[in-house]
Amino acid sequence: MDACLAVDREVDKVLSKFGQIRENVDNVLQQLIDSLENIKCDLLSKKSEDALESNKTSVVLVKGFLDKCKKDTHKLATEHRELHSTVSKVGKAIDRNFISDFAATSREDIFSGPTKTDLVNRIICQHFYRQGMWDIADELSEESGIEVECGQREPFAKLNTIVESLKKKDICPALEWARENRSQLEIQSSSLEFKLHRLAFLTLIQKGVEHQTKAVAYARANFGQFVEKHEKEVQTLMGMLLYVPQGIEESPYSYMVETNMWTEVNELFTRDACMMLGLSVESLLNVSINAGCMALPALLNIKQVMQQRQVTGIWSGKDELPIEIDLDPEHRYHSMFACPILRQQSSDTNPPMRLICGHVISKDALHKLGNSNKLKCPYCPMEQNPSEAKLICF
């Protein structure tokens, strides 16, 4: 998106320049036409005068007009030449922001083999089920040979139905689901059921005085079970009843109505339902694409620098990238350890090791620092035997 915006800005500059030049050309041409018309009128008006004097005047007027034409033409030509540089910047912006060699940042064997291909197809198929695109998902599973059991489709079907009802501001299906799964939601310390009841209550009092009695009855029937955990919020909701005759907008708690609670409840339901069903909160395909979009610009830049300086061997590691990619917290799924000595990320072959003093370094650093049966911690003066270091598993 940033690349598209950068190119779009250059195109806007070109279009603006074209518009200015066109307007300037029209003005100059009109001025020349007006000048020529004035000269013509002057010559016609002086026909009756002395012929010699008339010829001298004609020569002066025509010469002045030609000088003006040359001057204006030179000015327009200069502006036109400057336009070429503005147009060329668009091509440079495209070359700078859109690099076609994306394959240079990936490994050729990453999707090779039937097992990996099958895994990718399953992730794509699951994404379509999450989006409610049943026909596409079924067709993909059939053509790719993926066996999808009914038990794998059913959770997505129910989840999609409830999400669609929340988008239509129908709270009943979500409330029914929350009641059925109350025990599991309590284990997850979820506030979904309370927030659904809160939303239903606010919807009633927003309708005005004629629904105030219904709102009170609804609160008595449903808020009692949540007083222990949400006492202050329940008190706030009850306080809003005092402002129903004047209008909820006049209430000091109007922010509760103005906040887009439907979106909040929708996201909360999706998160809790996915956690309960053992699914990722976000589509794995979305996560992979978003993480790739974040990492790609940095990888392309470092690859270009490596090619310019003819650096080789840095990108040969199969289990780590040559640079650290700053992903959003929601895209981080595994704990990571980077050795403070060698500045390398830990891996299966180079795991983190805990020394007796409590400091942690990588296995490679342990071997390089250790000397026979003697090792001095690089962070404290404690001496120890390298064999006493313990493997740490995150």
Taking only the tens place, the pLDDT of each residue in 26-47 is 888 888 888 888 877 877 776 5
pLDDT band at 333 (very low <50, low <70, confident <90, very high): low
Per-domain boundaries in the chain: 2-100, 169-277, 338-391
* Tokens 């983190």 belong to residue: 352
What would the pLDDT profile of 133-146 be if each residue is shown by its tens digit? 888 888 888 888 88
Ranges 26-40, 71-85, 88-102, 218-232: which has the least confidence: 88-102
Ranges 162-166, 228-232, 260-264: which has the least confidence: 260-264
Q: What is the pLDDT of residue 330?
A: 63
Closest CA to 362 of 374, 372, 348, 376: 348
What would the pLDDT profile of 174-232 be if each residue is shown by its tens digit? 999 998 888 888 888 888 999 999 888 888 888 877 878 888 899 899 998 888 888 88
> H helices within 309-337, ranges in order?
none
User: Mean pLDDT, to the nearest integer, of 112-123?
Assistant: 84
CB 375 within 8 A of CB 386: yes
SS3 of 28, please?
helix
Tokens of 125: 């198929």
Does the pLDDT at position 316 exceed 60? no
C-alpha–C-alpha distance, residues 247 and 296, integer Å: 52
C-alpha–C-alpha distance, residues 47 and 94, integer Å: 62
SS3 of 51, please?
helix
Angle at 153 between CA 150 and CA 154, to 5 degrees: 85
User: Mean pLDDT, to the nearest integer, of 303-312?
Assistant: 71
pLDDT band at 125 (very low <50, low <70, confident <90, very high): confident
CB 21 within 8 A of CB 83: yes
Strands 360-362 and 383-384: unpaired
C-alpha–C-alpha distance, residues 18 and 2, integer Å: 25
Q: What is the pLDDT of residue 312?
A: 64
SS3 of 222, please?
helix
CB 290 within 8 A of CB 282: no
User: Mean pLDDT, to the nearest integer, of 301-326?
Assistant: 66
C-alpha–C-alpha distance, residues 120 and 225, integer Å: 45
pLDDT band at 129 (very low <50, low <70, confident <90, very high): confident
Tokens of 1: 């998106």
CB 214 within 8 A of CB 202: no
CB 337 within 8 A of CB 350: no
Q: What is the pLDDT of residue 1?
A: 64
pLDDT band at 113 (very low <50, low <70, confident <90, very high): confident
Higher pLDDT, 217 or 116: 217
* Tokens 């080789």 belong to residue: 312
The highest-level CATH class for domain 338-391 is alpha beta
| Other CB atoms within 10 Å distance of the CB of residue 144 | 14
Mean pLDDT, all residues of the chain: 79
Q: Count H helices and E strands in the chain, helices first.
A: 14, 5
Q: What is the pLDDT of residue 259?
A: 56
